[in-house]
Structure 1
Amino acid sequence: MYRSHSRITASNPSRLIKRLCNHWRHKFAVQLDEQGGDIELPLGRCSLRASEGCLHAQLESPDQAKLPQFQKVVAEHLERMAGDEPLVILWQTEAGAAPAVQNAENRTLDSRSRYGTVSRTFHWLMALLIVWQFLKLGDRIGEGEHWVGQTLVPWHVSLGAVLMVLVLLRIVWSLSQLKQRPLHEPATAWLVKGGHLALYGCMLLMPISGVLYLVGNGYGLRVFGQQLVEKGPEVAWAASLGSVHSPLAWLTVLLVLGHIGAALYHRLVKRDDIMQRML
């Protein structure tokens, strides 16, 4: 990450920060509180803090070549927000990028500009396995008498167990990264968070309901060739709870399609960097 900062004399720095944050709020993710403001732009992150008679601005960009442009954009907007008050904005660029070890750490962890290696690995690995699980719906075609039904679908239960472990690990990891992950656009943040919570809920409930269905109907539970639960008598309450497995599967399909549609909308229509954060 490449950084630069500037100490700007201003008569009312808090007011200046508030005006700039409110100006950019309709386009970018903004956090504004008593300490200052943080703005996520396509060029990087802009952090603004106020002290007595001074505004402290710090810029962070993953692209060194774009840092001068980033400085110019922020300076021009600050001058515009200041109105008739002249501002002297001199940027001091920190010496190059961080050492290679620090870069590796930044790539592993989440940041305000993008998701780290761990989060992206969880996302794409689980996406692949969930699509594989959807192949189970193909059993309804020709009663599963085809290559997909005979070769890939038999792994359904075992992969469900893997997904249960992965979603638990992913929830723990997401909570640990919550304060430093990319921000959502304020206007749609509630919709994005609601969709993600619904998707996480389905990913967690799907394997649980699947286990209840198998055990409740006396089929037992066999994972990667190991019989974890023996076949036995039916358990009415477990079978009843497990019956939600199929409706949950269709709900998950709709949520995944909505997730893909939203990503493509940002990429093709809004042309922002939202999708790039997970690539």
Structure 2
Amino acid sequence: MSGAPARGAMQVNHVLIRRRALAAAAGAMLAAVAGCAAVADPEAPGAMASSAPAATVVASEQPTVGASPTPEESASPADEAPGVRPQGLTPTPRHVSRAAQKMEFTIFATHPEEWGGCYIDGDVVVVNTVTRSKAAAEQRLEELLGEDAPVRVVEVVHSIADLEAATDALSDVVSDAKRHGSGPLVHVTSLGPDYMGPRLHLGIDDENQVDDVIAAVREVLEKAFPGSSLVDIDVNVSITTRSTVGASDEGD
């Protein structure tokens, strides 16, 4: 397909991590749905997202994608905010969570095509700007959050609206594949936006199917968004056996 990377050129990193790290990644992925995810531990999978290749495989000895973090990994009530789930043992500073929350309910909600979401990295919110330059985005955030707002701006290609559209297109095809029990996308157990790229996140149940699943994803995106940069969007892959996609259709 035109513009899509060759399958053989895709770099697939096999990273073996333990339960706590993968549970943290799952929590970050779920939080990302609202437009902002959290990375408190620099060694956590999400922290590697900024330099990840087109397909990164995260495997676990005990697959737990979709599971809730353990009590020691959960944030205190004061640190919790819709769409922001601090991960690891270091709680997110309250003023950082508040800044992320305010963006989610204002600029992200009203103009999802202008922003690429955000993620919390320690004591700062990394904000993805799409339609504005870094300087213009910084000015807009200063107007919204104040001069000393704990934010860092990066310029990206894909917006919240883009990632949601791609997720919707893939969800329909994955559900159909599961209903008929055919094709590589039957191995997809979870999918959704990952604003730490920004990119897409997929959970699959068979590490040997990574290349075929990625190729099928590219095909779906090319049909849904011909000529769009979404066709070549980075995809993060985790190996898991717990399915959250197409569950309602499996009994049909």
TM-score with structure 2 setting the length = 0.28
Larger radius of gyration: 1
Higher relative contact order, chain-length normalized (CA < 8 Å, sep 6+) = 2
Question: When you count strand as a share of all residues, which structure comes out higher?
Answer: 2
TM-score with structure 1 setting the length = 0.26
Question: When you count helix as a share of all residues, which structure comes out higher?
Answer: 1
